[in-house]
Structures are given as structure tokens and as C-alpha cells.
Structure 1
Amino acid sequence: MSNPKRRLAVFCSGTGSNFMAVHKAIAERRLQAEIVLCISNRSQCGAMEFARRKGIDTLHISEKQFNGQEEFARAMIQALEAYGIETILLAGYMRKIPAEVTVAYRGNILNIHPALLPKFGGEGMYGIHVHTAVLAAGEQQSGASVHFVDEEYDRGEILLQGTVPVMEGDTPETLAARVLECEHRIYPEALEKLLLRFRQ
């Protein structure tokens, strides 16, 4: 008897390239997982469009739609429960997850960060800001980290990291492109590693 597929939700705010990489890996590697929901704080973004093309349900949910953080968190949890979500993957989601959600899904929320944590993490360390900081610090290498999400930015247990060299003459943009390729490689590997934990 085959194992039931773990039900995943992906949270996105942008183009969804990591979402696409994970979706492709699930199909190619026949991982025991299925992305059944895409949640975004933006009603129109590349990730939402990709989800719709693939027949994955989408949900636009933003703090602006609710009277306070508590109501927002409750609506998010209700949506996740309605879809039977077991694990959440953050893929370029540009909002902090409500504490109520991180508590309810403790050990079941992953995020990918474009640096080698614990360096260059925390509030304000996102997107091009990260790569600018890495170059300013004179680092010889950078990379990406997949970590569990808790109530603090980028402080959860690291599940997997990948490294890339910092090249002479790099700009934040060229480094970002190299790190993004690393992200696309390690996020599916991290999901596979997490699924293996659940089977043990």
C-alpha cells in the first residue's frame, strides 16, 4: 500500500521560480507530496498565475483584508485546515508568518533564504539587500539556506544549505542570479529530506 501524498501549501509573493522548481521536482522525482494550494499576499503575481495554469487552487490573503493580526491569522489557519495542509513552503513570500500559524505548524514550515544563515538574515535582509550586504562584507562565498520557520526572522533550524563562490567583479545582481540557481537546486532536495524524516 503506497503512502498518501503529503499535502503542501506554497506561500509566494513574486514570480514563483522556487515554487516552479519544487513543483517540477515533485513530478520528476515522484516525491510523496502534492502542492494543493498557493497562498499569496498579492492577487496578481507570477506564482499565482503558474498555480492556476497547473490547476492548483489559489488564495489571495492579506492583512489589509482583516481587522487586525488576530483575525488575519485565524483566517489563514482556517484556510490551511480546510485544505488539509500538512506542510507549508515559503517561496519568496514577503510577509512575516503570523505567530499563531508558526505555532500550529511547528516543524512543518520551510523557508528558503538567499544567504548562508546565520549570516545575513533577519528583518530587512531580503532580495537584493542580502547580496549587497554579502559583497560589502567581502565574503568569499554565499549561497542559500533552507530552514524551519519560527517566530523570529531566519532563526529556525537549518535543514540544508548550498554554496556558491563570490566572484571578482560581482554585482548584487550577478551574485543574486548565481544564488537563485542554487536555491532552485536545494529547495527540492530539502523537501525530499523533510519527507524522509516523516517516513522514519
Structure 2
Amino acid sequence: MKAAPLPVVVLVSGSGSNLQAVIDGQRSGELPIVIRAVISNRADAYGLERARAAGITTETLDHREFPDRESYDAALQQRIDAHTPGLVVLAGFMRILTDGLVEHFRGRMLNIHPSLLPAFRGLHTHRRALEAGHEQHGCSVHFVTPALDAGPLIIQGVVCVLPEDTEEQLAARVQQQEHRIYPLAVRWCAEGRLRLDGDTAMLDGRPLEAPVRIGPETPLPA
């Protein structure tokens, strides 16, 4: 008997290109999920337009209308819980989440970060990679835990840094990798293959001692 699609809520703050990659996977049937809602802290986030175009429920919860981070996250948690998701996907949600919210969704929340973690946590990752003279850069999907960009790693997309690269050129190539690896991690969750056991990411019942790594020309694993 075929399992029911995994209910998903996606959080966005900006253009939502990773959201679009997940929407495309849902449409094609490659991702056995149903996106129940897309929620943003910004009413002008283009990701909301992407969701509306796909017929997905959208909501805006403006953080500026709350006195502090704790009250905002409490309201956000209620909004998310109303859709009873099995997975929460952060797709460029530019908010540092409180420990309480993160623990509530522990093992059910994924994030994608534009660096090869643990290198370059935080912002301006492409600029920092160029300034540091790194030969490789990329993106990482990880489970969300209270420490910023420090949750257990799942999969990384790797690109070579070219001598002539600008920050914008490097960012564009990394983003192409994001659109490949994030839907894959979501699919693994939907298929019940990926889970969090304590502080360890488990894939197919085995601990991921190191994240799965793929390059631009590497076929995606099953």
C-alpha cells in the first residue's frame, strides 16, 4: 500500500528559488509530499508568489509586529502546527530561531546553508570563501538545532572556486547545487529514509559519519 504524501510547511523570506525546486519536485511526483502552506515574515517575499502560482496556501507573519523574538516564534509555531506538518523546510527564512521553536520541531526541520559547513556559518558566505582563497565552496543541508548553522549535516553540493570568480558568479553556481540537493534531502525524509537520532543524522538506518557529497556533474544518489 502506497504511503500518504508527507505534509510539509515551507518558510521563506525572499525569492524562494529553493521553494520552487521543491514545488517542481512535488508537481513531477519525484517528491512524495504535499506542501500545505508557505509562510513568510515578509509580505513582499517573491516566494509567496511562487506558492500562489502553484495553488499553495500562503500566510504572512510579520516579525515587526511582535515585541520580541520569543513572542514571534510562539505565534509562528502555532501557525505551522495548524497545518500538522511532518517536515518544516527553511528555504531562505532569514530569521534566527529561538531554542524553543527549534526543539519543538527537532528532527522535523531542515535548512540549507550556502557554504560547506562547518566553514562560513552565518552571512556573506561566498565573499568569505573568495577572501579565504578556498578552492572549493558549496552548500549544505542539515537538521536544524539551536546552534546556528551547526545541526547534523546530511548532504553537501560542492563546486570548484575558479580564479576569475566574482561573488555573484560563485553564488550562481552554488545555487544550482542547492536546487539539486535540497529536494533530495526532502525526498529522503518523505520516504522515511532520513531521520535524526539524538544528534546524529541517520540515512537508511546508518549514521551519516560524514555528509553525502556531490559535485555539479555527479549523478544524484537514489
Is this a same-fold pair by TM over 0.5?
Answer: yes
Question: SS where residue 106 of structure 2 aligns?
Answer: coil
Structure 1 segments (4+ residues) deviating >3 Å:
none
For structure 2, which runs of at least 5 residues remain unmatched after alignment? Answer: 196-203, 205-222
Letter matched to residue 145 of structure 1: S
1:182 aligns with 2:168: no
Question: SS where residue 155 of structure 1 aligns?
Answer: coil
Structure 2 residue aligned with 1:99: 99
Structure 2 residue aligned with 1:152: 147
Structure 1 residue aligned with 2:214: none
- Normalization by structure 1: what TM-score? 0.92
**How does 1:15-164 map onto structure 2 within 5 Å?**
15-121=15-121, 125-126=122-123, 129-164=124-159
Q: Using the TM superposition, give the Cα deviation of residue 198 of structure 1 relative to its aligned residue in structure 2, in angstroms.
A: 5.9
Letter matched to residue 55 of structure 1: G
Q: Using the TM superposition, give the Cα deviation of residue 110 of structure 1 relative to its aligned residue in structure 2, in angstroms.
A: 0.6
Q: 1:175 & 1:74 partners in 2: Cα distance?
A: 37
For structure 1, which runs of at least 5 residues remain unmatched after alignment? Answer: none
Letter matched to residue 5 of structure 2: K
Q: 2:110 & 2:41 partners in 1: Cα distance?
A: 18
Closer, same or farther: CA 29–81 of 1 in aligned 2, 3 Å: same
Question: SS where residue 140 of structure 2 aligns?
Answer: strand
Q: 1:60 & 1:158 partners in 2: Cα distance?
A: 29
- Normalization by structure 2: what TM-score? 0.83
Q: Using the TM superposition, give the Cα deviation of residue 69 of structure 1 relative to its aligned residue in structure 2, in angstroms.
A: 2.9
For the 8 Å contact 2:188–2:194, the answer to whether it is kept is no
Task: Flag the structure with higher helix content.
Answer: 1
Q: 2:186 & 2:116 partners in 1: Cα distance?
A: 18
Q: 1:33 & 1:98 partners in 2: Cα distance?
A: 27
Question: SS where residue 161 of structure 1 aligns?
Answer: strand
1:195 aligns with 2:190: yes
Q: Deviations over 1:9-62 (max 9, x none)?
A: 111111111100111112224422111111111011210111111111111113
For the 8 Å contact 2:102–2:145, the answer to whether it is kept is yes
Superposition CA RMSD, Å: 1.6
Letter matched to residue 136 of structure 2: Q
